[in-house]
Structures are given as structure tokens and as C-alpha cells.
Amino acid sequence: MQNSTTSFYPSVIKLGFGEMTSIKYLYCVLVIVWQVLIILFNSAVITVIILNRTLQKPMHIFISTLCFNGLFGSFSFYPSLFINLLQDVQTISYVGCIVQDFAVNIYGECEMTILAVMGFDRYVSICNPLRYNTIMSINTVYKLIAGAWLYSFFLITIHIILTIRLPLCDSVILKIYCDNLSVVRLSCVDTTVNNAYGIFIIVAILVTMPLLVFISYVEILRVCVRSSKDFRSKALQTCAPHLISITNYVVDVLFELILYRFTPTNLPYALRVFMSVNFLVVPPILNPLIYGFKIQEIRTKIFKLVLQKTCLL
């Protein structure tokens, strides 16, 4: 509904850092440490997969893509967070806010689509092992990766276009980074179209993709039930990292959705901040750890690479 408040397009958006500013230097140290760890761990996994031909298999290519997405997500969040922590007033330009909104959403949606594609890869590997190399050719792998990115890019681009058309009547958001709903809520005009499209994206990404993964694992489970104990053990070892990644990400996103739709202001401030940034903090560090140290092939190559670099020093 139209509000009597004057609408405008702000030059800057004020972010809701609240109590964080009281110990901002501690947070600055934590941000630096966490960003460095994300860069080191993800880069290590990506590097060993690129440099070793024996690791350039579909599953490993998907893992490197997931790690690259983790790097992309961290760079869309941590530099801005660090800069704002050092400022007396935590603000971001309107253009910068929209760019961050776009980047964070691309990261979030791509994380889910890549995990869905990886679920399909596990399904083919376990349920159709004799046809695996034929179905999951390198060309098919790259097409699936491109499709995962383009699907997310297309959905989020429309989302952002619908957002930037809105004049705003406020310039203060409650989160420590820009997300789409926070910007939309600043508008004093009818946002029905934005809200409806937001629900469509939730269905298209956060319902459809986990459902596809669930269907893949139902089929995997059916095959495992009819197979030998050794086969079940190998299948579990192969699927465990992926299951950990997708379970963690879905839980993280559920945290965000609770804040996204219901804004429970009665929760402690620190808990609200944790819930809002969890999907940006945990997956980028968890994914390279569980894949880099759980999968022996990757773990061995990482240790060998580290030893080589150490010897050169």
C-alpha cells in the first residue's frame, strides 16, 4: 500500500551492526582469520584438482566448483564487513548494497544448485556404475555446472531488477549485510510482486533442489539395500561428504529463512546475527574441510603439495 512517507532513492544505506561495534576490533581479527582460512582451504582443494590430472573426474570437478563458489560468497561478504567494522558509522552505498545483495544471492542459490547436481552425480555413480563414464562425460559435467550457475543467475537477476525499481522511504536495515528482503522492506510502495517472486525463488531453489537430492538418495538407498555390505560401505563413504554439506546448508538456510520471513526481534542480538550470517560463514569453511580431508585422493595431494612448498622454502 502507498504510504504517506516520502519515497526516494538513498545514496547510502545504514547497516544494523548494533552491539558489534562495542568489540569491533575483536570482530575484525575474527573476520581476517576466518577469511584467510576460507581462502587457504578452498584454494588448496581447487589447486590440487586443477594440477593433478588423476583428480580431474566429475566428482572432483564439482567439488572444486563448490569451493570456488565458497570463495565467491566470502568475497561478497567479508571485505565489506571488515571495512564497516572499522568505521564509526556502518553504511554502504545504495549501489554497493544492491551489488552485495546480488552477489550474496548468487552464492546462496549456486550453492544449492551445485549440491543438487552433485547429488545426481552420486546417483549415476552408484545406481548406474557401468554407464557412469558415458553419462557423466566431461562435456556433460561442464554443461551441468554452467546450467547450475545460469539458472541461479537468471532467477536472481529478475529478483534484483524487481527490487531496484522500488523507491524507498527509509535507509536503515537491521542486518550487517544487504539482502533482498531487507531492501524491499525499506519501500513504502506495494511490494506484492517482489514478495510473490521471492516465494517463487524459495520453491525453485530451496524446495525443488533438495527434493531432487532426496529423490537421488532414495534411489541410492534402494540400490544399497539390495547390495553387499562392502558396496554399502563404499557408497556411504562416497556420499557422506555430500550429505554433510547439503544437510548443513539446508539447516543454515532455514536459520536465515526464519529471520527472512518472521524477524524474531525477541531473540538475543548475537543469536540473530549468527542466524543471519551462518550460511555465509559455515559452508565456505566446512566444504573444503570435509572434501579435502575426508576424500583420501584429495587429502593425499594436498599434503604432498604442502610438503613441496615447505621444502622449497
pLDDT in tens, 82-95: 998 888 888 889 99
Average pLDDT over residues 228-233: 81
Q: Which set of grid coordinates corresponds to residue 235? A: 557408497
Output the pTM of the full model: 0.89
Domains parsed from the chain with CATH numbers: 12-312 (1.20.1070.10)
Q: pLDDT tens-digit profile of 105-137?
A: 999 999 999 999 999 999 999 999 889 999 999
CB 179 within 8 A of CB 108: no
Mean pLDDT for 272-278 is: 80
Confidence of residue 63 (pLDDT cuts 50, 70, 90): very high
Residue pair 48/55 in contact by the 8 Å Cβ criterion: yes
What 8-state DSSP symbol labels residue 65?
A: H
SS3 267: coil
Region 58-64: what's the mean pLDDT?
A: 93
61 φ, ψ to 5°?
Answer: -65, -40
Q: What is the DSSP letter of 7?
A: P
C-alpha cell at position 302: 594436498
The mean pLDDT of 189-204, rounded to a whole number, is 90
User: pLDDT confidence of 301, banded at 50, 70, 90?
Assistant: confident
**pLDDT attached to residue 4:** 46
- Grid coordinates given for 48: 590440487
Q: Give the pLDDT score at 62.
A: 94
* Other Cβ atoms closer than 10 A to 313: 5
pLDDT value for 298: 80
Average pLDDT over residues 260-276: 70
Q: Write down the residue that cell numbers 550460511 correspond to.
A: 279
The answer to whether 178 touches 98, Cβ cutoff 8 Å, is yes
Is residue 237 predicted with pLDDT exceeding 70? Answer: yes
Q: What are phi and psi of 283, to 5 degrees?
A: -55, -40
The answer on pLDDT for 292 being more than 60 is yes
pLDDT at 6: 59
91's enclosing H/E stretch is strand 91-93
Please check whether residue 279 is in contact with residue 108, taking contact to mean a CB–CB distance below 8 angstroms. Answer: yes
Please give the average per-residue pLDDT across 231-238, as a whole number: 80
How confident is the model at residue 254, as a pLDDT?
A: 79
How far apart are alpha carbons 176 and 276 in whole angstroms? 9
pLDDT band of 37, cuts 50, 70, 90:
very high
* Cβ neighbours of 122 (radius 10 Å): 22
Query: In the structure, what pLDDT confidence band is assigned to residue 17 with cuts at 50, 70 and 90?
Result: confident
Share of the chain above pLDDT 70, in %: 91
- The per-residue pLDDT for 1 is 39
Chain position carrying cell 545460469: 150
Rounded Cα–Cα distance for residues 182 and 195 (Å): 12
The C-alpha cell of 28 is what? 575484525
Q: Look-up: residue for cell 585422493? A: 297
Length of the chain: 313
> What number is the average pLDDT over the span 197-215?
91
Sign of CA dihedral 179, 44, 46, 116: negative
Nearby residues of 187 by Cβ (< 8 Å), 6 or more positions away = 7, 166, 167, 168, 169
* Dist. CA 43–CA 164, nearest whole Å: 34
Cell numbers for 31: 573476520
